[in-house]
């Protein structure tokens, strides 16, 4: 965050830092803004744990089958199944504890108490009782209780790692002079103290501006939690898939029960066989994993300074294929400097600059006006009007700003009009024509080619006391040109190159002169050495003529008004692009709403733009957009790996659980074996793949076509691995049954193959790049081997320890089935790696 909007009305009551708020003002502020609860405390967390655990179908399966065995008189088996509930509940407790620990970790960065000056007295109170307008004193080692501007800062250094990831101390300074009024002003990050950050050295006096969820820390926490509960298109699609699989599994279970009864195995065997197959086939992990990954994605994007306001954005951001970005403040710093004054003949630079200040606004955060007043102060130019009679602000139609003012001088008062704006507009109102205009246009082009933003200025004297009309539209006298420089942000050129390598089309949309925009485009490597530039008017003509496909070759849209972004966005969407668009003003709202991903500027954006957008950038930096896309693609890739693992491990489990009993053999997997496998599959899918390392590198991706979560080739590979493993289990089972009729031997072999497959799939898909992947892989192999080979465990689990030749067959078979197909899968992921339409991979 380099700048943040400060609503001046939040400074109520803190005019005198030595006094602070009185009790009446405190009550009014608390009623208006609520308590300073940045991280809400979840009420009755253990009740939530019980409710979530009770919703787990595996728990009810174990309780039901335990009751069934008790009815049949097999009390030992019944008790074993009841005990098997404990590790499942334990897993829920561990995950619940992890969530609670995460919440506690979030709260650990926040202040528990605050030292506040109220009615002239310093008091210590709970941080939750701090309200906007409070004067808070923060000493070394203490955390800021809320977000606010610094009124005093003595040798102040702050640790902001918890909020921004900045590892080095950040030096802070008091805001001076303090702004006055009731509007909004942009205040640099060096003047802010933020909740979730801690004072390292010095002392700070803070005037609180934002509390609770309005703080930056609160926004991140709220985004992380809120994003996980919103239903997205992909989540709905997964829900529909689960419904289909449940219906198919139910039909298969009914068939299996009927066949077992027909084969004469009895109703108890038929019921256990059907229930076991139902639980093995139940795909409850898919929606759980997706929801969990969604929450992780929201949090990671927030850490990259991109606040997600809608969960669907996490799903969409990784498949962006086109970015329509503003120039000023996003690609460039947004800090204009007046570098060239080109006065007209007979006009000196001082007169040109002085009248430019008349046409500018002292209040507000327009960087162009600020640059003019800054240059005037440096040059000692002062032409402050006595009275402002009329002002016509800049608009998309007029493309200029004008003011009619009265100035008192030694020779009496003078009424004059001054105007500044687009050079071609000023030429027209000032009557600059013919050869003179051609000369000035050549000068404008020369400055624009040097990446300068160029405006022109004109003025005219008016009748004195009788002036009561609107701003004049003609009769001006041309004063000259003003040229500004706006340096490109660090890292933008690399981000643009990253987009180009990933086949993401970037279009810079700006109101600047085409030559200025082209110069900036060349500097950042946007487009070719001669980037194609269209004016917004030419763009509209192109679209109306049906030539919108040409937009794929355009790098810059110049002389663009915010309302023209909407036409651009819709045209690109008709071409099949997934469009992200940036905006900061009220006029940007239609384009932000229409875009697949609307991105608002958090620093300079209006409230309406921020509320409309899907994502809010904390630092208004183009590089942050590219980082968010990289994170979105990484999230989708991780989700694909998790789902691939679930598919490849469930396919052989379900096929063999159904076919072996249908062939007349004893049930292959008993309920306790399903519990065992569930304790491996669930944490692997949930924990291993969401933790894979992130990257800022964007791999190439194709344009969107027909959309599916996996491509046809990927489906073929995944199902091929699953079917191959199923055939391996069936073949080894048939071999063992032919040699040793004991069902326990065949079950042990099937479980050995499944657990080894789980470990192999985990290792290959994760690359063992994280500690979680390594210890889960090792635990899967170690625990499973012990349960099969230790006679006491094996007997209790109705298994028989395997021979060395059995293990060799299992290991060799798993490697044959898994490695070739997954090596191909990794190659496929590198060549067509990204999610595209609807969050799904292309064919």
CA-based nearest residue to 750, from 646, 684, 648, 653: 653
pTM of the model: 0.64
Furthest-apart CA atoms within the chain: distance in Å: 119
Pairwise CA distance, residues 786 & 807, whole Å: 13
Tally of CB atoms within 10 A around 179? 14
Is cis: bond before 177, omega within 30 of 0? yes
| Residue in this structure with the two tokens 């396919």, named with its chain if needed | 651
Is cis: bond before 342, omega within 30 of 0? no
* Higher-confidence position of 303 and 727: 727
> What pLDDT was estimated at residue 584?
77
Structure tokens at 130: 């701090």
pLDDT-based confidence at residue 832 (cuts at 50, 70, 90): very low
Pairwise CA distance, residues 780 & 776, whole Å: 6
pLDDT by residue (tens digit) across 579-621? 999 887 666 778 888 888 888 877 766 666 777 778 888 777 8
The three-class DSSP label of residue 147 is strand
pLDDT-based confidence at residue 70 (cuts at 50, 70, 90): low
pLDDT-based confidence at residue 443 (cuts at 50, 70, 90): very high
Which H/E stretch holds residue 321? none
> What pLDDT was estimated at residue 836?
36
Are the C-beta atoms of 749 and 732 separated by less than 8 Å? yes
Pairwise CA distance, residues 733 & 754, whole Å: 13
Does the pLDDT at position 479 exceed 90? Answer: yes
Does the pLDDT at position 420 exceed 90? Answer: yes
> What pLDDT was estimated at residue 471?
66
CB under 8 Å to 209, separation ≥6 — which residues?
A: 6, 7, 10, 11, 132, 146, 147, 148, 149
> What pLDDT was estimated at residue 706?
38
In the predicted model, what is the mean pLDDT of residues 334-351?
89
| Residue in this structure with the two tokens 């197909």, named with its chain if needed | 821
Residue 71 to residues 68, 75, 339, 556: CA-CA distances in angstroms? 5, 8, 91, 76
Are the C-beta atoms of 336 and 648 separated by less than 8 Å? no
CA-based nearest residue to 146, from 166, 126, 164: 126
The distance of Cα 461 from the centroid of its chain, to the nearest Å, equals 54
Does the pLDDT at position 766 exceed 70? Answer: yes
**Phi then psi for 20, rounded to 5 degrees?**
80, -165
* Domain covering 3-39+110-222: architecture: Distorted Sandwich (2.70)
Pairwise CA distance, residues 731 & 817, whole Å: 13
CA angle 577, 580, 584 (to 5 degrees): 150
- Of 229-238, 556-565, 729-738, the one with minimum mean pLDDT is 229-238
Are the C-beta atoms of 422 and 456 separated by less than 8 Å? yes
Does the pLDDT at position 837 exceed 60? Answer: no
- Of 87-96, 329-338, 432-441, the one with minimum mean pLDDT is 87-96
Q: What share of the chain is helix, strand, coil (3-state, %, to 5)?
A: 55, 20, 30
Are the C-beta atoms of 157 and 132 separated by less than 8 Å? no
The CATH 2.70.150.10 portion of the chain extends over 3-39+110-222
Question: What angle in degrees, to the nearest 10, is found between the helix axes of 562-574 and 536-544?
Answer: 40
In the predicted model, what is the mean pLDDT of residues 539-558?
90
Q: What is the CA radius of gyration of the chain?
A: 34
CA-based nearest residue to 209, from 148, 128, 144, 150: 148
The CATH 1.20.1110.10 portion of the chain extends over 228-302+629-691+700-842
The three-class DSSP label of residue 174 is coil
* Higher-confidence position of 417 and 75: 417
Pairwise CA distance, residues 593 & 581, whole Å: 9
Does the pLDDT at position 305 exceed 60? Answer: yes
> What pLDDT was estimated at residue 673?
83
Does the pLDDT at position 457 exceed 60? Answer: yes
- Of 82-91, 132-141, 657-666, 736-745, the one with minimum mean pLDDT is 82-91
What fold, for 228-302+629-691+700-842? Calcium-transporting ATPase, transmembrane domain (1.20.1110)
> What pLDDT was estimated at residue 674?
80
| Residue in this structure with the two tokens 């086109």, named with its chain if needed | 322
> What pLDDT was estimated at residue 494?
87
- Positive or negative: CA dihedral 302, 306, 310, 312: negative
Exposure letters 420-449 (e unless 16+ CB within 10 A, then b): bbbbbbbbbbbebeeeebeebeebbbebbe
Are the C-beta atoms of 561 and 536 separated by less than 8 Å? yes
- For 651, which DSSP code? H
Are the C-beta atoms of 184 and 190 separated by less than 8 Å? no
Tally of CB atoms within 10 A around 238? 19
In the predicted model, what is the mean pLDDT of residues 343-365?
87
| Residue in this structure with the two tokens 């099949």, named with its chain if needed | 576
pLDDT-based confidence at residue 700 (cuts at 50, 70, 90): low
The distance of Cα 240 from the centroid of its chain, to the nearest Å, equals 26
Pairwise CA distance, residues 475 & 560, whole Å: 27
Q: Look up the CATH superfamily of 306-332+489-620.
A: HAD superfamily/HAD-like (3.40.50.1000)
CATH number of the domain located at residue range(s) 338-485 in this protein: 3.40.1110.10
β partners of residue 136: 116, 206
**What torsion do the CA atoms of 612, 618, 619, 623 make, to the nearest 10 degrees?**
-80
Pairwise CA distance, residues 566 & 555, whole Å: 17
> What pLDDT was estimated at residue 775?
93
CA angle 482, 483, 488 (to 5 degrees): 155
The secondary structure of 359-404, three-state, reads: CCCCCCCCHHHHHHHHHHHHHCCCCCCCEEEEEECCCCCCCEEEEE
Pairwise CA distance, residues 72 & 66, whole Å: 10
In the predicted model, what is the mean pLDDT of residues 559-587?
84
Pairwise CA distance, residues 548 & 574, whole Å: 9
pLDDT by residue (tens digit) across 114-123? 899 998 889 9
Does the pLDDT at position 137 exceed 90? Answer: yes
In the predicted model, what is the mean pLDDT of residues 412-431?
89
> What pLDDT was estimated at residue 622?
83
pLDDT-based confidence at residue 228 (cuts at 50, 70, 90): very low
Average confidence score pLDDT of the chain:
79
The distance of Cα 572 from the centroid of its chain, to the nearest Å, equals 22
pLDDT-based confidence at residue 748 (cuts at 50, 70, 90): very high
Q: What percent of the chain has pLDDT over 70?
A: 76
Does the pLDDT at position 275 exceed 90? Answer: no
Pairwise CA distance, residues 315 & 294, whole Å: 8
Tally of CB atoms within 10 A around 747? 25
* Higher-confidence position of 87 and 256: 256
Structure tokens at 445: 């082009």
CA-based nearest residue to 584, from 517, 515, 520, 509: 509
Tally of CB atoms within 10 A around 276? 25
Go through the chain and tell me how many residues it has: 843
Structure tokens at 324: 């329509």
Q: What is the DSSP string of 460-528?
A: EEE-STT--S---SS--EEEEEEEEE-PBPTTHHHHHHHHHHTT-EEEEE-SS-HHHHHHHHHHHT-SS
CB under 8 Å to 314, separation ≥6 — which residues?
A: 227, 232, 294, 297, 298, 301, 308, 632, 635
Does the pLDDT at position 385 exceed 70? Answer: yes
Pairwise CA distance, residues 794 & 600, whole Å: 60
Does the pLDDT at position 48 exceed 70? Answer: no
The CATH 3.40.50.1000 portion of the chain extends over 306-332+489-620
Pairwise CA distance, residues 111 & 272, whole Å: 56
Structure tokens at 127: 């941080």
Are the C-beta atoms of 549 and 566 separated by less than 8 Å? no
CB under 8 Å to 396, separation ≥6 — which residues?
A: 561, 562, 563, 587
pLDDT by residue (tens digit) across 667-679? 888 877 887 888 8
CB under 8 Å to 538, separation ≥6 — which residues?
A: none
CB under 8 Å to 358, separation ≥6 — which residues?
A: 383, 385, 403, 405, 416, 418, 459
> What pLDDT was estimated at residue 786?
94
Does the pLDDT at position 567 exceed 80? Answer: yes
The distance of Cα 202 from the centroid of its chain, to the nearest Å, equals 35
pLDDT by residue (tens digit) across 703-726? 444 345 677 777 888 888 999 999
Does the pLDDT at position 163 exceed 70? Answer: no
Structure tokens at 45: 């967390």
């Amino acid at each position: 965050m380099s700048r943040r909007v400060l609503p001046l009305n939040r400074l109520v009551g803190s005019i005198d830092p030595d006094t602070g708020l009185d009790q009446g003002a405190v009550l009014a502020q608390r009623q208006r803004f609520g308590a300073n609860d940045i991280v809400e405390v979840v009420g009755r967390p253990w009740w939530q744990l019980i409710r979530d655990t009770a919703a787990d179908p595996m728990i009810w399966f174990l309780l039901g089958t335990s009751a069934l065995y008790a009815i049949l008189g097999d009390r030992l088996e019944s008790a074993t199944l009841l005990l098997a509930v404990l590790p499942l509940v334990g897993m829920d407790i561990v995950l619940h504890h992890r969530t609670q620990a995460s919440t506690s970790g979030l709260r650990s960065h926040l202040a528990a108490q605050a030292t506040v000056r109220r009615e002239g007295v310093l008091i210590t109170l709970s941080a939750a009782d701090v309200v906007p307008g409070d004067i808070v004193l923060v000493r070394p080692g203490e955390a800021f209780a809320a977000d606010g501007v610094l009124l005093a800062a003595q040798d102040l250094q702050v640790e902001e790692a918890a909020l921004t990831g900045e590892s080095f101390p950040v030096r802070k300074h008091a805001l001076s002079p303090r702004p006055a009024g009731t509007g909004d002003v942009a205040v640099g990050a060096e003047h802010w103290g933020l909740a979730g950050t801690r004072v390292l050295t010095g002392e700070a006096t803070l005037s609180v501006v934002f509390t609770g969820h309005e703080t930056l820390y609160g926004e991140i926490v709220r985004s992380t939690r809120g994003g996980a509960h919103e239903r997205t298109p992909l989540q709905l699609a997964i829900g529909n898939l689960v419904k289909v699989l449940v219906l198919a599994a139910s039909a298969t279970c009914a068939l299996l029960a009927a066949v077992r009864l027909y084969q004469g195995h009895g109703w108890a065997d038929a019921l256990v066989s059907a229930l076991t197959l139902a639980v093995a086939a139940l795909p409850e992990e898919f929606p759980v994993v997706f929801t969990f990954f969604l929450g992780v994605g929201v949090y990671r994007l927030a850490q990259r300074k991109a606040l997600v306001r809608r969960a669907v954005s996490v799903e969409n951001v990784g498949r962006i294929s086109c970015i329509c970005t503003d120039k000023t403040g996003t690609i460039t710093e947004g800090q204009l400097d007046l570098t060239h004054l080109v006065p007209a003949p007979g006009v000196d630079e001082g007169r040109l600059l002085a009248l430019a200040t008349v046409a500018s606004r002292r209040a507000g955060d327009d960087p162009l006006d600020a640059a003019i007043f800054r240059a005037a102060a440096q040059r000692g130019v002062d032409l402050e009007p006595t009275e402002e009679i009329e002002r016509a602000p800049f608009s998309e139609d007029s493309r200029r700003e004008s003011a009619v003012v009265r100035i008192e001088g030694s020779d009496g008062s003078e009424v004059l009009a001054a105007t500044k704006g687009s050079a071609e507009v000023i030429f027209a109102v000032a009557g600059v024509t013919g050869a003179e205009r051609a000369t000035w246009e050549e000068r404008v082009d020369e400055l624009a080619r040097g990446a300068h933003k160029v405006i022109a200025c004109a003025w005219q004297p008016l009748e004195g006391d009788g002036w009561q009309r609107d701003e004049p539209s003609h009769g001006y006298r041309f004063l000259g040109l003003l040229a500004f420089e706006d340096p490109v942000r660090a890292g933008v050129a690399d981000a643009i190159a990253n987009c180009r390598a990933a086949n993401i089309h970037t279009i810079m949309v700006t109101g600047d002169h085409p030559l200025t925009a082209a110069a900036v485009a060349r500097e950042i490597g946007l487009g070719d050495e001669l980037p194609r530039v269209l004016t917004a008017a030419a763009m509209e003509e192109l679209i109306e003529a049906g030539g919108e496909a040409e937009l794929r070759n355009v790098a810059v849209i110049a002389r663009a008004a915010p309302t023209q972004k909407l036409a651009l966005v819709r045209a690109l969407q008709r071409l099949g692009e997934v469009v992200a668009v940036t905006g900061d003003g009220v006029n940007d709202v239609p384009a932000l709403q229409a875009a697949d991903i609307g991105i608002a500027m958090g620093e300079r954006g209006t409230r309406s733009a921020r509320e409309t957008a899907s994502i809010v950038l904390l630092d208004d930096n183009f590089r942050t957009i590219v980082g968010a896309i990289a994170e979105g693609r990484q999230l989708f890739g991780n989700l694909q790996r998790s789902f691939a693992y679930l598919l490849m491990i469930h396919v052989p489990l379900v096929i063999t659980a159904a076919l072996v009993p249908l062939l007349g053999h004893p049930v292959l997997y008993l309920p306790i074996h399903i519990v065992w496998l569930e304790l491996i599959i669930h944490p692997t899918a949930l924990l291993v793949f969401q933790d894979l390392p992130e990257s800022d590198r964007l791999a190439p991706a194709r344009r969107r076509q027909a959309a599916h979560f996996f491509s046809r080739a990927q489906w073929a590979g995944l199902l091929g691995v699953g079917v191959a493993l199923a055939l391996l289990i069936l073949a080894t089972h048939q071999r063992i049954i032919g040699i040793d009729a004991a069902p326990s031997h065949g079950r042990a072999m099937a479980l050995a193959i499944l657990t080894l497959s789980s470990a192999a799939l985990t290792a290959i898909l994760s690359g063992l790049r994280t500690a979680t992947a390594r210890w889960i892989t090792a635990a899967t192999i170690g625990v499973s081997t012990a349960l099969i080979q230790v006679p006491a465990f094996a007997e209790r689990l109705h298994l028989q320890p395997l021979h060395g030749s059995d293990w060799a067959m299992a290991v060799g078979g798993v490697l044959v089935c898994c490695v070739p197909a997954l090596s191909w899968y990794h190659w496929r992921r590198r060549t067509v790696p990204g999610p595209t339409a609807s969050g799904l991979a292309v064919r």
